[in-house]
Structures are given as structure tokens and as C-alpha cells.
Structure 1
Amino acid sequence: MLTVGVDIGGTSVRAGVVDSRGSVIDTSRAPTPAGEGPLEDAIVAAVEEVSSRHTVSAVGLAVAGFVASDRRTVRFAPHLAWRQADVADRMGSRLGLPVVLEHDANAAALAEHRFGAARGARIAVLVAIGTGIGGALLLNGEVFRGAYGVAPELGHLRVVPDGRPCPCGKSGCWERYCSGTALSATAVELLAKHPGVSTVLAREALGDSRAVTGRRVAGAARDGDPLAQRAMADLAKWLGEGLALVADVYDPEVVVIGGGVSESAPMFMDDARERYASVVTGAGHRPLARIRTAQLGDDAGIVGAATLARELVGKMSRNSKR
């Protein structure tokens, strides 16, 4: 049985056909548009593109936002247009296929627990670092959703009172200091303070500071740009600080770092681990969580959403036989 997983983030809409072993066998990708209508059109186009080449039985949508506990409605998405939107029903009607929703971090965590870095862990946390931060908690392989389906929003833990404004409405959220967006913001701030340090990024920022994207900063850091490396060091610091908060609350066995920014993990993970180990409560007197990079990479959300879609079809089939 083949199913489609769609990872809907603040930057891109990515669809993939996934088999029962968790392998992605075909993909399509498009920029995330503004507005509910264009966003839903983009999802339909992405699914129809891959399903035109394969016979698929269901669709799972991994959404960067609050998903209701019945996994039919998007309550709120800081980086997307949906507000109390019946997305599963609308998409199911347009696609003619069963559709299930899941928070993107939950979907990625399930994929890593079934097929990747968290396999076999009793208590596992996933921190997905992309445009923002998504978080997920698995207890014995089951997603912890909270009372109303929105837990745990780790990216919106406030780490800097009166800090950078966040699209969620607060300021100083963890994802404003540890994400692709944060990497860009930090580099732009450093350029303003130290205009002569980075000739590459400074030249690119002259025309439009939006050219200094998180991906571009990571590339410049990889190439040895000193200012970009300072921005990467700042991200590592805030990742370590946030992981210490997560460990204080959940005491997990393993923390999986996923999302698009994890592609640059060799540049920040060692420093983040050191920071975490030094600031966690009881440092030096407690076992530390294993901090691992996601094995499924940027495909984890797609694989998890498609796996949930496969389970939905199985449940529907069992119910029809009763």
C-alpha cells in the first residue's frame, strides 16, 4: 500500500509517496503561498502530481500548527493562513481520498520512532528546527498531545523576556533564537554591529537584507565566513539552553534533532551538547539524554504523515468489516 505524506511548513509544501517500509519513492515540492485558498490549491497540486504516477490510498498532512485532537481541524498555525479550519474534510473532498492531519513535529517523531533515530526509546522528544521549532513527545511510542491536542509547543517557550517578536503573538520565543529564521536574524544583527567582518554576507545584504537567509548563513559558515560562524555559534548556544529546559521538564531518554536546519548539524551539535550538559539542572549528577540527529532528515514529516494515513486506511478497513 502506498500513501502520500505532505509536509506543510512556513517555507515549502513537500509531498512524497511512501511505502510500508518508510521509504520515500517519489516527491514534489512548491513554495508555501499566502492565504487559505492558494495554500490548499498548492497541496492539491502537489498530491495530484505524485499520485498521477502512483496508485495511492490515502493522504497525511503534517502541519506546522495546532491540530485538534481528532486530527481533522487546524486550530492555529503561526506561519500559515489556517484558523479553525476543517482542513481534513476540505482536502478529502477535493482529492477524493481519506485525509488525516498531524502536527508536523508529531509526524516526524513517529517516523523516527518507527524507522529512525528514536527506535525503541521509551521516552523520546523530537525538536524539529526549520523556519521555526516544532516539538513532539512520545511516551512508549505514543504521541502525547495534551488535553486539547496542541502539546508540546516547545518552539514557543519564552527564553528571552521582551526578546524578538514572534508570529505567535509573544516575544522572546525559543524559535526566534534557534531556527533558520533566527540564524538569518542573528546574522543581520551582527552585520549591523560589525559591518566589516563579513564581506560576503555584507555584500549580499546591501541590496536587501532578506537575501541573508538561514540557508545562506549556514553555507557561508561552512565556507569559513567568520560572521556566519558567530551566528551559528549563537544558534548552538540557544539550542543547548532550550534542550536543558526540555530535559528539566521531560527527562527524556533520547532527543532527536530534525528539520531543515539539522542538515547543518555538524557545525553546531557538539557545542549545543556541551551547553546542554553544563546548564541542565543537576549537571554532573544525572544521566543525560542522548542527543541525536534525525536519521530520516527532512523527509521525517512526510514519512510520519504517510504512515498515519496508512494506519487510517487500515482502521477504516477493519471498521467496515465489523
Structure 2
Amino acid sequence: MRHVIALDVGGTGMKAALAGPDGELLHQARRATGRERGPEAVVAGILDFAAELRAYGADRFGEPAVAAGVAVPGIVDAEQGVAVYAANLGWRDVPLRALLGDRLGSVPVALGHDVRTGGLAEGRIGAGRGADRFLFVPLGTGIAGAIGIDGRVESGAHGFAGEIGHVVVRPGGIPCPCGQRGCLERYA
């Protein structure tokens, strides 16, 4: 059966699924992100998890996944396939799409920002469906929002649109991994 790999990497955990041609859920799995082991271990964990999902799908459905979609937190250059920066995971400039492509073989891989990807899904098939404008704000290890406008999700001029977790709410407050002090994510 034709299927795709969907992998959502968070600051604390990873959620994954294999989805069929009409979006039906065929398999789901979870595991810890392992950020306490450092950014290299997080990347290795993502690659291992994706490879396990590929193998499970090939065994269970008789063929490998036809594509993979991976959503990660922080600043993402989706066009280049690079996880530019994630304060919660400690990584910088990780060519994640290329690494996943190498690990998964000839499977095309899409890389996106976790909240903007979730917002896009809400706008297309969820609560935002049919709305010309909406705001999607999930709360997790990090805090971000997706701004839906006319069927798309705004990324901003430099990829920072919706990164509300790094708005300083207490000047001079608790240090944040992003380099600032007093960010909303440190208090929420």
C-alpha cells in the first residue's frame, strides 16, 4: 500500500505516523527527542526514527514510503532543507533534508517548521478550513504561532513569523538558550 512518513520533532518528544493515500492513519509511534544528550544525538535520533518507520512500512505494506515530511521547531529554511536554529534543541544549520534523504534512500523529503506545518494542516483540513485568516497557537516545550492568510501560512521575511516564545516579557529575566533574557518560553 502506498504511504508516506510523517514525523513531528518537538523540544521534548517526537510523534510519527505512516499515512495512506487519502490521509488515513496506518501506523503511529512516539519517542523522546533526547535533547539532554545534545544536538548531535537529537539529529541521530531523528534519522534512526525515520529509518525505522521506513523499514516498518516496507515490511507491513510491501513497499517503502513514497515520501517523507518532517516538521521541526525553531528557524527553518524549508527551501534549502536546513534546520537553521532551534534554541530548545541546541542545533544550528543542520542540513536535515539532505541527511534524511541519504538515510531514507530515494524517498523525497519535505522539511518544515513544526507550528507552521501544523497551522497549514489546520487551515486545510481542520478548524481553520474555509477561513481567510486564522491564528494557530499550540503550546508545547516551545511557544510559537502560525498565521494563516488566504490558504497559506506566513513565514515572515526571515523565517521568524510566529516565534512568540522569544518575545521578552521580563527584561533582564531568566537566560534563554536563544541568547536573550526573559523570553516568554522561560516563564510559560
2:35 counterpart of 1:39: no
Flag structure 2 segments of 5+ consecutive residues without an equivalent. 58-63
Number of residue pairs the alignment of both structures matches = 178
Higher relative contact order (CA 8 A, sep 6+): 1
Letter in 2 for 1:168: C
Instruction: Decide whether the 8 Å contact of 1:14 with 1:46 is kept in 2.
Output: no
Counterpart position of 2:67: 58
* TM-score normalised by structure 1 residue count: 0.52
Which structure's residues are more often helix, by fraction? Answer: 1
Quote how far apart the aligned CAs of 1:20 are: 4.3
2:83 counterpart of 1:94: no
Counterpart position of 1:5: 6
Instruction: Decide whether the 8 Å contact of 1:68 with 1:148 is kept in 2.
Output: no
State the superposition RMSD in angstroms. 1.9
Letter in 1 for 2:42: L
CA distance in 1, matches of 2:24, 2:109: 20
Counterpart position of 2:60: none
SS of residue paired to 1:53: helix
Counterpart position of 2:144: 134
Q: 1:99 to 1:56 in 2, by over 3 A?
A: same
CA distance in 2, matches of 1:20, 1:11: 29
Q: Deviations over 1:172-202 (max 9, x none)?
A: 2222232xxxxxxxxxxxxxxxxxxxxxxxx
Work out which of the residue numbers 73, 80, 83 in structure 1 matches 2:89.
80
> Which protein has the larger Cα radius of gyration, Structure 1 or Structure 2?
1
Q: 1:134 to 1:18 in 2, by over 3 A?
A: farther
SS of residue paired to 2:100: helix
Which structure's residues are more often strand, by fraction? Answer: 2
CA distance in 1, matches of 2:21, 2:136: 22
CA distance in 2, matches of 1:44, 1:85: 12
Counterpart position of 2:182: 172
Q: Deviations over 1:194-215 (max 9, x none)?
A: xxxxxxxxxxxxxxxxxxxxxx
Flag structure 1 segments of 5+ consecutive residues without an equivalent. 179-322
Letter in 2 for 1:152: G
Q: 1:120 to 1:162 in 2, by over 3 A?
A: same
Counterpart position of 1:105: 115
Instruction: Decide whether the 8 Å contact of 1:71 with 1:102 is kept in 2.
Output: no
CA distance in 1, matches of 2:171, 2:154: 28
Counterpart position of 1:144: 154
Counterpart position of 1:118: 128
Instruction: Decide whether the 8 Å contact of 2:47 with 2:99 is kept in 1.
Output: no
CA distance in 2, matches of 1:81, 1:171: 16
CA distance in 2, matches of 1:32, 1:42: 7
* Structure 1: 4+ residue segments shifted above 4 A: none
Q: 1:45 to 1:123 in 2, by over 3 A?
A: same
* TM-score normalised by structure 2 residue count: 0.85
CA distance in 1, matches of 2:176, 2:151: 31
Counting only pairs closer than 5 Å after superposition, residues 187-198 of structure 1 correspond to structure 2 as none
Q: Deviations over 1:124-157 (max 9, x none)?
A: 1111210121221111111211122232211111
CA distance in 2, matches of 1:58, 1:149: 24
CA distance in 1, matches of 2:184, 2:69: 28
